Structure 1
Amino acid sequence: MRKFFLMSICLIALACEKDKYNVNTYFDKAQQDSLLTNIITYVYVKAPQSSNQTRFLPQYRKFYVAALPKFSIENYYVAPDSTHYFFVVRPVGNLPYKRGVIGRYKMGKNLMPTDFEEVVNTPHLEEKLVKERGKFLFTELIKNGNLDKYLPMKHYVEWPDANLVYSKQLNEWVAPTPKSIQ
């Protein structure tokens, strides 16, 4: 009986331990919505009549808030050096597929990411596959600091590739040039 009691206590303690890769560990629901809207502003199409320079202006926020139900934060982690890692699932046009975005940033004021970087985007896949492969890439990014060895795996990583690299200066995927590969 005593062994059973001790095992029960251990199982309860493990069940109560917060998942370090769950966004709920770091933010309440309202904060998550605000943060995800800010991430969407970086990773989604630009609001009509906006540009890279203006997309964060208040008049465009409604566009990104309206997209919120199409996105989800699947995994999240704040590293000891205060780097925030994310894995977001996003829509792909009007297709029934989804895409995973795995990246990192530093946290600025009002839950606004700074020094934002999309590290990889998955190919268009069924949502279940996006979540499985994205979680794997997310944990590997945290563990290794990069995903270089997975870039040739085109069934896991669509970008970056020979045609597109992420420009942290422009916050978008661009054709590789000596200036864009920084």
Structure 2
Amino acid sequence: MPDYLNPRNTLARVSRNSPRAVPDSLAVLELRPTSRLGALARALAAVVTREVLEAVAEEDPRIRGAHLRVFATLEDGPRRASEIAERLGTTKQTIAPVIDELVSWGYLERTLDPADRRAKPLDFTDGGRRIARTALTAAESLDRDWESVLGKEELEVCRAALWRLLESRRRRRP
């Protein structure tokens, strides 16, 4: 089997819906230290997603990357579906099925907003907090692993450089 079709390959798009990961056509290449930054970033993001999902799968194998992204939007407290969609850069219609799954599985609950009775902000249940903590613990473990590889100072330089690159693109958008 070619390396790019191997589901364990960091270049493969992580998917819990299909038995095989589907290769990302832009990332099907041999990575090198001189590879395009975008290809390296995608590979790194795939590693993080895969490892966090592996940790969470021990509690619930149905959880996918989209579920984790919704969880991340609720770190600071309850949010309306429209706010979650906005934070994720998508539409309410796109994110609604993911939210509905999390509610039906008992990880999120719709609460009442005393200021607006039509609004139903979403918040974690105890089970949802447990899954979110597991995901966060796995992500923090990766950061510690990378600190052991790079050292604290170089890791912070890397983090700062990536942040500056992201911010440079955000400033260009209206």
Q: What TM-score, normalized to structure 2? A: 0.23
Q: As a proportion of its length, which structure holds more helix? A: 2
Q: As a proportion of its length, which structure holds more strand? A: 1
